[in-house]
Structure 1
Amino acid sequence: MGLRRLGRRGVQLIKADDPETGWLVRIVVSALLGWSLVFLTPPSLAVRAVLVASLACWGAFLVADTRWPRFARGALALATLLPATVAGVPQSASAPIFLYSMLFTFVLLPRTPMRAILALTGATIVVFLTGMWLTGRGPTAMLTQPALIAVLVLFSVHRREYRLRAEQTAMLLEQTSRTQEAQAQAAALSERARIARELHDVLAHSLGALRVQLEVAEVQLTEKGDIGGAAARIRRARRLAGDGLVGARSAVAALRTDTPPLPHALGDLVAAHRADHLATVALHTEGSPRGLPSGAEVSLLRTTREALTNAAKHAPGAPVAVTLDYRGPAVRLTVRNPAPVDSATATDDGVGGHGLIGARERLALVGGTLEAGVVDGAWRVTAEVPG
């Protein structure tokens, strides 16, 4: 069990390790440097001393990389320059191995500034050419080796920049995902608060008015013996209960994912009103329909229901015209019917006495407005919401 757990832990570490500059690569490079120092270095004591000093700088880099990154990069830069001084020595295969290993590790480090990479590359080429000139190497070698270094450094820089862009893209995607999650959560909380407010307004008003009616009916029965008055109050309470249920359903409808668009919902409402009251109701939609926030749509639907209920109560049998206008910057809903004889009572729609006042308050919560009154001999209710 211990070996199996250790093996799984090793596999996890390898997967999480950087495939180019991680600890596993550094172990392999260290082993390669040690092997080349022992088996590929010429017997020259000066060359061996330079490569041993370079290996010591490499060890300092490994030890200090996580705790003192600036010191570590300085040690790695020195470890690169040292083998460049003896890379031109004939039969010194270990010096180029040291040089390329140190230089490419330096280039591939993700936090190394570009100016430091360019400075080290230039210094390495200069030192390398100087060493080759001092050792009498020919022009072919003096041109080939620096060109090889430049090409490999360019390749490594390109690879490093690609990795950095990939990491930045991943970070940006993660930040975008977190921002979208936060926005979705905020929108959900806002929607829940709005629905809670709608339900509270409907239930608190309906239940409060229902309680008052029942209390009055109880007093009329027990203290005054007014059976007719009590019956009227009970009928009133029944209407309040029905209207409260309708209001609660319209508020809950905002939570449904299959709520139809506003023109279709108004069409269903108008059709139901025609069937219930045997009234002539015409619905007109002007302009191109567009989506509205659910709170605004529910408020317009509720305003239409209140206006239709008023029309049925105060002008029964009269034709009603409902117009939904999308042509302006705001969406406007207009309900028109012949003015009742007593227009002052037209705003009492039977919903606890607050009627269009409650509709106006709900429209205000979504930035809308409501106007009601007699215009050109007709009772007109006009609601507007931003859209």
Structure 2
Amino acid sequence: MTEFADGPAPEASPRLAAALAGARARRERRTRRLRPVVWGIVAAVALQSVFADPTPGTHGEHLAVTLLLAGCLLPLAAVASGLWGMARPAACILFCLLVSGFAFALGVVQPHSTPVLPSSVAVLIAFLVLSRRRAVAIGCAVLGGLVLTELVGAHDGVVDLLGQLLFCLVLAMMAISMRQAGESEERAALLLAQLEDAREAEAEAAALAERTRIAQDLHDVLAQTLSGLSVQMQAARRMARRDNAGEELRDLLDRAGTLVKEGLGDARRAVGALRGQQTPSLDRLPELVERYRMDLELDVTLSVTGATRPLPADADLALYRGAQEALTNAARYARGAHTTVTLHYDAGSTVLTVEDRRTDRAPTAPPPIEGSGLGLRGMRERFEAVGGTASAGPDEAGWTVRMEVPV
């Protein structure tokens, strides 16, 4: 037996769907507890019919008792065992009519039997499953059938009839209470899930508004400053060419202009990410490596090993930004070295390494701009936020940056 609320279930978010499924599962468990009661009624009707007169048999009125008893008890046993589902109203109505009809006919053939027991089950299930209008119609039909069997002399007086009618009414009220309790519990679970969804949406809206404000500040300060610096760098490059400045100075200005252009692009992408736009991912790692190789003349190669797989957005972005920071440091501090970027998809993690290997031991020229160390610190913090790790340091052949995130 299964209870169903009137009307179709509304479309729900995953949280709402889980709350609805949980409420229905609890109602289903409560309903399954009624199955032993139905089995008890089956046993009681069968036992009473065996000792009533006429008894079940294979000839004459005894055969009629056997057939009517089977027609009454088989649907009850099917429902008690879960073989007869009540998901469709038509199946429930058919069950109620079959059980009540055979019970009343059995009461007529066996005057001292109690047709109220099978009929009460029909009333109980009707008010648990069907709409209120259909359940009332089934209940009225059952009450009418009990009155009709009294008129043909199947009851032991008016008092017995009134007791049976009252028993059916009590079961109907119990079914209504059970159904209302289940529906109230379901509505409470849905309201709680909706409240949590609303709070989550409110928090996301507040976070988006804050990110939008930060993005606007970045755009107004950083992006505009870099744009002005780019214009000044272009002017400086033109002046250097005009005044026939040295090749070293012009190369330095060209690299500085490229770095400014890269910084301006990164600033715009950061502003877009804060505004909720698409963020870069490992799919663009070959493009990033190629850009550093062409624009910054970095000797860099990319290697990807293992079966590629999608990663969570935060972990994906952390690996991309980590590779970007490591390549920027290689271009700043390890010019003349060979840089290898290796992306390895392991069984339990994804590892990205950036290795700088120098073939000669000649001292390198100091970088034009000293770093603050905040880039590596920010990289570690970013990976800690996604449950990963990041480390950077020298080794026997150069410098290695290793970043790892769990699957």
Which structure's CA Rg is the greater one?
A: 1
Q: State TM-score, norm by structure 2.
A: 0.44
Q: Which has the higher contact order (CA 8 A, sep 6+)?
A: 2
